[in-house]
Amino acid sequence: MSQSIRQSNLFASEDFTKIYQSFKNVDFQAYDFDTIKAALVTYIKDQYPEDFNDYIESSEFVAIIELLAYLGTSLSFRADLNARENFMDTAERRESIIRLARMVNYQPRRNIPAEGLFKLSGVSTSETLTDSLDIDITNRTIYWNDANNSSSYEQIITILNAAFQSSNSFGKPYKKGTIGDVKTHLYRFNSVPFTNITYPISVHSEGNSYPFDIVNTDFNDGETIFERHPNPENAMHLLYRNDTNGLDSASTGFFLHFKQGTLANHDVTYAEPLENRVEEIDANNVNNNDVFVQKIDDTGAVTEEWTKVPSIVGSNVVYNNIVLDTKTIYSVLTGYNDSISIKYSDGNFGEVPKDTMRTWVRTSVNEQAVFRPEDVVNQSISIPYFAKNGQEHVITLIFSLEYTVSNRSLSETDAEIKENAPQVFYTQDRMVNNEDYNVFPLTRGNEIAKARTVNRTHSGHSRFIDINDPTGQHSDIILFAEDGALYKEPDDFRATADVTDTGGTDDILDILQNQLNEVQLQNFFYDVYIKNYKDNMLALQNGDTENYFDYELSALPLPPNTLTWNTLPSTSKNDTGYFGLGAVTTAFATQVNNTNYRFVKPGSKAKFVDPANPSSYKWVTLTSITGTGQAGTLDTVGPIILSAEINAGWAITEVIPPLRSELTDVEKYGDSLDPLYNYIADQIENQQEFAISYDLYNDLWEVIPSTAINETGPFSLVSPPSNDTSWLLNANYLINEDVVFPEYEFITRGVKFVFESADEIRFFYEPDQKIIDIETGKSLQDEIVVMDHNHAAREIEEWTFDGSVW
C-alpha cells in the first residue's frame, strides 16, 4: 500500500475531500423524527441497495433506523434550544435571560418590599415609675392622646425617657432633621445588646398572613428614612415626628420603622483568600434593597461592615462611585427566582474576604399586596433595656398603622428584562438624546412605569440662536405691557422655634437671626424706620446736630462740613477715590476717627449732588472703605469704592445707613464685663417673652422686656419706655393646647413692594419651583424693567431714569 493511501485510510475523518464528498449525501433539512427516518432510508437505498432491502415495519433493521431517528431528533431539539437560549430575543429560561442581561452590564431588579412607619399608640414598662403627680405607672399601659387621661402625654414621655439613654432624653434627640416637610427626631434606647436584630410580627391582610420586621431605623436629613446595618451590639432606635397639626395627626408622635419580609443570616468561613470570589446565598425572593455583608469574629461580634456597590447599570466591584478609601466592597448578582450571589473584589480595587463572613438578607413576598390601617391595630413588641440604675427591665411598645401602604414593587419580569436590557445598553451609561432620557431612568428602579421625554432642539440647531419655548422651561420669556403699577403694603411675617430642639438656645437664635435677614424687614427699615428716625433725629441723637445724616444743599459756596468726592486715579469721574471737606480736596478720614460721619460706612446709600446744579443728583452705594478712608500720598487707587462712577467735586447731601442684620456675640450671649447687660440668650433660657429694637445712632440691637412691649401700636422710635412700639422683632413664648411643645413665635415687622399689571400680564409666585442657573448654580429671578421712555400717570410728565431694574 502506498504511503499516501495508507495516510488517507488512517486519517479518514480529517480528509476534507472525503468530508466534502459526504455532504452531498446528507439531507440538512431533516431535523424531526419523520424526516430523519426518511433521510436514513434514502441514504441506505442509495449507498447499499444490494445489502439491505427489507424495510417492513417489523424488521429489526427498521427499528435501528427509528432509534437513530429518535436520537437525531433529540439532539436536533437540544441544539436548537441551546442556540435560542443564547440570544435575548429568543431566550425563554429566566436563568438565560438574566445571564444575557448581565453580559451587557444590566442588573435585573428584584422585588421591593412594602415599608413604612407604625405609630405608637401606647407604652408600658416593668420599671417602677411615677409621674409628676406621684401616680404609679409601673406595668400600666399608657395610651397616646388618651381623652380619659389628661396626664397621658407626660406619662408616655416619662416611660420613654426611662428606656432612652441618659444623654438622649426627650427634647435632646440623637439626631434631628426634616423628612417630607415634617420635623423628625431620632431617639436611642438603652437596649440590651445581643438580643434582637429585628422584631418580627405577623400582619393579616385580605385573608393572607405576611411576615413583617420592626427594624432598627435611621434617617438622612432632607432625604429618606433607612434601616441601619444589622448589628447585635447596636441599640434600638425610635423616631419622633411632628407636623404641627396636633397629637391626633397621623404624622405626629413616636414611630417604628417596618419592612415586609424576614431577615436571616448566612455565615461562610474562608480559610484562604480567593480573588473574584462568588458566594451563592441559599434563599429565594430576596428583595432588592436589604442585603448586608459583614465580617464577624468567633463570638459573633461584627468587626467590619462591608459596603454594597449600588445595583445600577455601570456599577460593579471595579467601577463604582464609592470613595477610594473604602476597600471592603461587594456587589449583588441576581439569580433565578430572586436568589442572589455575593461577588467580592479581586484584591486590587477592593479587599478579598477571609475568615468568617456573614450575609444578612431579607426575603419578601413577591406579589402585589396593599396594607391598610385596619390590618395593624394595637400590635406590640417588647424591648429589654437597662434602667438608669443598671437594672434590666422591659418596655412594651404598642403600635398601629395610620395610613395605607402600597409602595411594594414586584421583581422585573422576563419580558421587562428582555425589553430594557438592550435599550439600556444602547445608552452606554449616558443621557444625550431623546431616547436616552426615555430609557435610562428605568434603570434606577422598577417603580418607574413609564418615562417620557420631549425633544426641545434638533441636530444642527445653533447654540447661538435662542430656543423659542413658550412654556418658559427651556428659554426666557420676555413680555411687554403698558399698565404696570407699583405699590407697597405692610407684611409682618412669622416663624416658630421649638424650645425642645437639640442645641436649645443656639437653634432658637439661628431662627431669630434668619428672621432679621429677611428682605421684608429691610424694606421696613428703609421705608418706615428711616423716615421715623429723620423726623425725630435730634431726640434720638441726644441733641447731636453735627452728625452727618441729611443736609439740604441750596447754594454755593459749599458749607465747610460738606463731603465732596475726589477721584483717585484723578479723572473727571470715577468709582474709586476719597472724600474732602467743602471745596478743600485734602483727603479726609471717614468712619473710624470722626464720629460726626459715623453713617458714612460700607453699605450706606449716598445721594451725590452737583453743587453747580443741585437738581442733578445720583444715588450710589458705598461698596467698601479701606482703613479710615483717608488716601495716602503714594496711593494710586482711592480707599473708597462706590457702586457707580461719580463726577469729581460732587457733594453728598444725604446718607442712608444700612440695617445691620447680623447680631454680635455680645448681643446674643451678653458681656462678662457687664453682668447687668440685657442680652437675648438670657431671655430665651429663662423662657421670657421679649422684643428687640435697633438703635441706629449707636448701631446696637437692644432687648425690650415683655412688660414694656406694645404689640399693636404704630411704630415709633420715640414711644414711651413703658409702652414701647420701636420693636422690629417680637418674641412670644407659646405654651397652650394649640401647640404640642413650648415654642417661640417670632413676629417681625415688614413691608413688601408689589408690582402688578392690571390686564396685560399675569405674575405667578412659585417659591418651590426654582430654575437654577447652570453657570452659577444659583436660582434665577425674574426681572421687571421700567423702560426709560415710559410716561408717568400724567401725560405732561416723563421719567428720566435709564432703565431701572427691580
Cell for 59? 424488521
Q: Which three cell numbers stand for residue 293?
A: 455583608
Tell me the DSSP string of 453-519.
---S--TT--TTS----TTSSSS------S-EEEEEEE--EEEEEETTSTTTHHHHHHHHHHHHTSH
**CB contact at 8 A, 342 and 293:** yes
Q: Cell 436629613 identifies what position?
A: 221
Interval 103-123: pLDDT, tens: 888 888 899 999 999 999 999
Enter the C-alpha cell of residue 23: 455532504
What pLDDT does residue 534 have? Answer: 82
Q: Is the pLDDT of residue 150 over 90?
A: no
- pLDDT band (50, 70, 90) for residue 65: confident
Q: What is the pLDDT of residue 585?
A: 58
Please state the length of the chain.
806
91 vs 93: CA distance, rounded Å: 6
- Fill in the amino acid letter for 371: F
pLDDT at residue 478, rounded to an integer: 77
- Please, which residues have CB within 8 angstroms of residue 429's CB and are 6 or more apart in sequence? 313, 314, 440
> What separation, in Å, do the N-terminal and C-terminal C-alpha atoms of the chain show?
110
For residue 522, pLDDT over 80 is answered with: yes
Confidence class for position 163, pLDDT limits 50, 70, 90: very high
Sign of the Cα pseudo-torsion (101, 103, 106, 109, in order): positive
d(CA 711, CA 717): 14
What pLDDT does 793 receive? 52
Residue-wise DSSP of 672-718: TTBTT---HHHHHHTT--EEEEEETTTTEEEEEEGGGB-SSSPP-TT
Higher-pLDDT residue of 796 and 150 is 150
In the structure grid, which three cell numbers stand for residue 670, read together? 451678653
* Phi, psi angle pair for 641, to nearest 5°: -115, 130
pLDDT digits (tens, 9 = 90+) for 42-55: 888 777 777 777 77
Q: Which tens digits make up the pLDDT trace of 388-397?
A: 999 999 999 9
Contact 159, 123 (CB under 8 A): yes
The pLDDT confidence band at residue 803, using thresholds 50, 70 and 90, is very low
Q: For all residues of the chain together, what is the average pLDDT? A: 82
Sign of CA dihedral 529, 532, 537, 541: negative
Percent of the chain with pLDDT over 90: 34
So what's the pLDDT on residue 158? Answer: 94
Print the SS3 string covering 609-621.
EECCEEEEEEEEE
Q: In this model, does residue 794 exceed pLDDT 60? A: no
**DSSP secondary structure string for all residues of 23-45:** HTT--TT--SHHHHHHHHHHHHH
Over residues 510-517, mean pLDDT: 92
Confidence of residue 629 (pLDDT cuts 50, 70, 90): confident
Taking only the tens place, the pLDDT of each residue in 644-689 is 999 998 988 888 889 999 999 889 888 766 665 678 988 988 888 9
Query: What is the pLDDT at residue 592?
Result: 42
Range picked from 91-95, 473-477, 594-598 for highest mean pLDDT: 91-95
- Highest-pLDDT range among 77-86, 470-479, 601-610: 601-610
CA angle 682, 683, 685 (to 5 degrees): 65
703: closest CA among 669, 680, 686?
680
Instruction: Report whether 357 contacts 293 (CB < 8 A).
Output: yes
What would the grid cell of residue 39 be?
Answer: 433521510
pLDDT in the model for residue 762: 79
Which of 31-40, 592-601, 779-788 is predicted least confidently? 592-601
pLDDT in tens, 705-748: 999 999 989 999 988 888 999 999 999 988 765 556 688 899 99
Cα gap 569→163, rounded to integer Å: 73
- Residue 704's beta-bridge partner residues? 691
Average of pLDDT values for 253-275? 93
Single-letter amino acid code for the residue at 689: E
Question: How far out from the chain centre does Cα 584 lie?
Answer: 60
How many CB atoms are located within 10 Å of the residue 61 CB? 14
604: pLDDT strictly greater than 70: yes
∠ at Cα 347 (342, 350), nearest 5°?
Answer: 65
Share in percent of the chain as helix, strand, coil (round to 5)? 20, 30, 50
Closest of 265, 260, 256, 263 to residue 381, by C-alpha: 256
Q: Determine the pLDDT at residue 441.
A: 76
Q: Per-residue pLDDT tens for 353-364? A: 989 999 999 999
Amino acid at 486: L
3-state DSSP of 255-291: EEEEEECEEEEEEEEECCCCCCCEEEECCCCEEEEEE
> Could you count the other beta carbons within 10 Å of the beta carbon of residue 266?
16
User: Rg of the chain's alpha carbons, rounded to an integer?
Assistant: 41
Asked if 403 and 250 count as a contact pair (C-beta separation under 8 A), the reply is yes
**Among the listed residues 433, 524, 438, the one whose alpha carbon sits nearest the alpha carbon of residue 753:** 524
Instruction: Give me the pLDDT at residue 456, please.
Output: 65
Strand, helix or coil at 202?
strand
Cα dihedral across residues 179, 180, 184, 189: positive or negative:
negative
Residue 792, pLDDT score? 55
C-alpha cell belonging to residue 220: 438622612
Calculated CA dihedral for residues 99, 102, 106, 107, nearest 10 degrees: 80
Q: What average pLDDT does the segment 539-557 reach? A: 51
| pLDDT above 70 (res 402) | yes
Closest CA to 234 of 301, 314, 161, 168: 301
718: alpha, beta or left, given left = phi > 0 and alpha = psi -120 to 50?
alpha
DSSP annotation of 413 reads: P
User: Which cell goes with 738?
Assistant: 394649640
Q: What is the DSSP letter of 154?
A: H
User: What are the tens digits of pLDDT across the range 552-571?
Assistant: 443 334 455 678 898 988 89
Binned at pLDDT 50, 70 and 90, residue 374 comes out as: very high
pLDDT at 11 over 60: no
132 backbone dihedrals φ, ψ, rounded to 5°: -70, -20
List the chain domain ranges: 23-84, 113-261+367-406, 262-363, 490-537+661-752, 548-656
Alpha-carbon span 331 to 359, nearest angstrom: 12
Specify the pTM. Answer: 0.59
Cell numbers 412688660 label which residue?
707
Q: Which residue has the cell 420669556?
A: 477
Q: What is the pLDDT of residue 6?
A: 59
With contact defined as beta carbons under 8 Å apart, do 563 and 600 qualify? yes
Q: Residues 191, 249: contact at Cβ < 8 Å?
A: no
pLDDT band at 751 (very low <50, low <70, confident <90, very high): very high
Greatest mean pLDDT among 30-34, 74-78, 431-435, 750-754: 750-754
pLDDT of residue 804: 41
Contacts of 345 (CB under 8 A, 6+ apart): 275, 276, 317, 318, 327, 329, 330, 351, 352
User: From CA 262, how far away is CA 116, in angstroms rounded?
Assistant: 15
Q: What number is the average pLDDT over the span 225-254?
A: 91
Separation CA 387–CA 163 (nearest Å): 6
Q: What whole-number percentage of the chain has pLDDT above 70? A: 82
The pLDDT score that the predictor gives to residue 311 is 59
Give the integer Cα–Cα distance in Å for 290 and 198: 13
3-state secondary structure 213-233: EEECEEECCCCCEEECCCCCC
